[in-house]
Amino acid sequence: MSGPAGSTATRLGVIADHRATRVVLVGLVVAVATAAAAVLEGSLGLADASPVFLVAVVLAAGLLGTSAAVVTSITSFLVYDFLFTVPRFTFAVSDPAEWLSLLLFLLVAVVIGRLTALLRDRADMAERRARESVALVAISGEVALASSFAEAAESIVERLCLDTEMRAMWITLEADPDTIIAAAGPPPAAGPLPWTLVRTDVDGTSDWLRLRDAPAVEPGASPALVAGASAAAAAAGDRYVVAIDGPDGPVGWIGAARNEGDPRPGRGARRLLVLAADQLAIAYGRDELQAELTQAEVARQSDRLRAAILDAVSHDLRTPIASIRALAGGLEDASVDADPAAVRSVAAAIDHEGARLGELVNGLLDMGRIQAGAVTPMLEPFDLTELVGSSVRRECATGGTARLVVEVSEDLPPVLVDEVLFQAALDNVVDNALQHAKDATVVRIRASARTASDVSLEIDDDGPGVPADALPHLFDRFYRVAPAAEPARQGLGIGLAIARGFVEAMGGSIDAETSDLGGLRIRITLAAADGEGGA
């Protein structure tokens, strides 16, 4: 980047060129007015053509502003005096009345030029304010609709860069200044201290100052931005920073750069930058509030889950333990003369309660694996008829009283599953139906090919069913639907949650609806092994 002296010289050159252009335009306007006056007085015989120069003054004021209007007025006064008043080609005036006319002409020209320039300035200001208002509304709306600070920054950085006439703009966070959240345009090269926008009072007045403790907002740390910079675009220029102020200090920064020689951003650009910084501060605070709400919700859900686990453990695990201790105590009682048949009956009851306790513990362990994401399925193609048959045989061996009806076509394609996980999921679904079924309940297991790439397995029962408002929660952990007539709570309420975890781990899906048998239907959808993505 060029040094301060080089930058100052460049700016002076630009200003000089600008002034030279204005002088040329003023001279051109006066020359045209002089030619018109010469035609009117010489060829047409008009006695006084000085009002033509008023037109030149109005044009200069409207096009170039107040200073040009004043210069045009004085130049017109001198030209008319030199060329058209007697004696000609001299600034001397023989008739005092001519002096009065010339002075009145000069006064009227200056006043008209000043008023015209004032109207032009006000029109320009109104147009700038209108553009600023549109930009302010657009920026406020985009930030308000953004769901996060990063999205808000992305949505406004391009517009803000254009509206403030910057070459490049980027937004960073105070907590991570090396990461650019959003950017527009190529990055600038490193240079002297940036200009920092300082708000000087509560009315929002601001100005650019060079601060020794200005933040380091060099965007060169971003490889993506550096890669996009061209040699021409990376030319040296002034850099500007605007603080995104939070309650306890800056939470981020808006960095910007202009081309070398461009003037510092004016009042309108400063207003836009201040508003954008304030809106981004609101978005940042919204993110923090959302994070706090999320943490509070997580804590609330954790407390609810902890209470549910404690409630389930205190009831469902205590019951088999109490039964085992009571049965074992009866065997230990020396006063009881039990015959071998009674001992075997008690031992069988202890074994049953122990198996029940083992199932509860295994269910909790499976739930823990699912929550920890530690379920890694080994997917292989299996015949669905054999898988369902194995599950039915296990249920019959345990003495299930419901009637199991299997309707699985043998021409179904193999399914791509983990055998252990699938059996565990199906057993949990069937056990759930049996636990809530009466002796005469029918449990139907039916399979069909839904599409060329998946197979649907439906488990229906004709039991009491589930209320419609409970269907979306059936697969939640520790959720139980207990009819009012049920004498005691059964299970931990994690069987269907485990089934969902295992099925989804295998790439399938599971849902619940009312069965055509009148009870509950659980539908498991699995990938077909010879379908897309099959083995």
Q: What is the DSSP string of 104-158?
A: HHHHHHHHHHHHHHHHHHHHHHHHHHHHHHHHHHHHHHHHHH-SSHHHHHHHHHH
pLDDT, position 48? 75
- Considering only CA atoms, give the Rg of the chain: 44
Alpha carbon distances (Å) from 447 to 211, 424, 440, 523: 75, 18, 23, 9
- For residues 170 and 79, membership in a common domain is answered with no
Strand partners, 467: none
Alpha carbon distances (Å) from 411 to 57, 381, 384, 408, 447: 97, 14, 10, 9, 11
**Contact, 371 vs 498, CB < 8 A?**
no
Residue 490 lies in a domain: yes
Residue 327 lies in a domain: no
Distance CA 45, CA 52 (A): 15
Amino acid at 218: E
**Contact, 74 vs 105, CB < 8 A?**
no
pLDDT, position 44? 76
Distance CA 61, CA 70 (A): 8
Residues in contact with 51: Cβ distance below 8 Å, sequence separation at least 6, in sequence order = none
Distance CA 357, CA 178 (A): 56
pLDDT, position 19? 67
Strand (E) or helix (H) holding 526: strand 520-527
- For residues 173 and 119, membership in a common domain is answered with no
- Report the CATH number at residue 457: 3.30.565.10
- For residues 218 and 171, membership in a common domain is answered with yes
Q: List the chain residues with pLDDT less than 50.
A: 1-17, 202, 220-236, 484-489, 532-535
Amino acid at 530: D
Residue 82 lies in a domain: yes
Residue 189 lies in a domain: yes
- For residues 456 and 408, membership in a common domain is answered with yes
- For residues 106 and 186, membership in a common domain is answered with no
Which ranges constitute the DSSP H helices of 467-510? 495-505
The number of domains in the chain is 3
User: How many helices (H) and strands (E) are present in the chain, helices listed first?
Assistant: 12, 13
- For residues 186 and 65, membership in a common domain is answered with no
pLDDT, position 351? 78
Final residue in a domain of this structure, among 255, 281, 307: 281
Tokens of 178: 């090396």
Domain extent at residue 40: 4-136
- DSSP assignment, residue 472? G
Residue 93 lies in a domain: yes
- For residues 63 and 184, membership in a common domain is answered with no
Final residue in a domain of this structure, among 119, 136, 153: 136
pLDDT, position 443? 86
- pLDDT tens per residue, range 462-520: 888 888 888 888 888 767 775 544 444 455 567 788 888 889 988 999 999 888 888 88
Final residue in a domain of this structure, among 281, 306, 330: 281
- For residues 478 and 411, membership in a common domain is answered with yes
Residue 324 lies in a domain: no
Residue 478: closest CA among 248, 286, 316: 316
**Contact, 192 vs 2, CB < 8 A?**
no
Side-chain half-sphere of 26: how many Cα atoms within 13 Å? 23
pLDDT, position 190? 62
**Contact, 508 vs 529, CB < 8 A?**
no
Task: State whether residue 482 is helix, strand or coil.
Answer: coil
- For residues 91 and 180, membership in a common domain is answered with no
pLDDT, position 15? 40
- For residues 110 and 220, membership in a common domain is answered with no
- For residues 88 and 195, membership in a common domain is answered with no
Is the Cα dihedral 270, 272, 277, 282 positive or negative? positive
The pTM (predicted TM-score) of the whole model is: 0.46
Residue 350 lies in a domain: no
- For residues 129 and 170, membership in a common domain is answered with no
Residue 253: closest CA among 180, 152, 161, 189: 180
Residue 159 lies in a domain: no
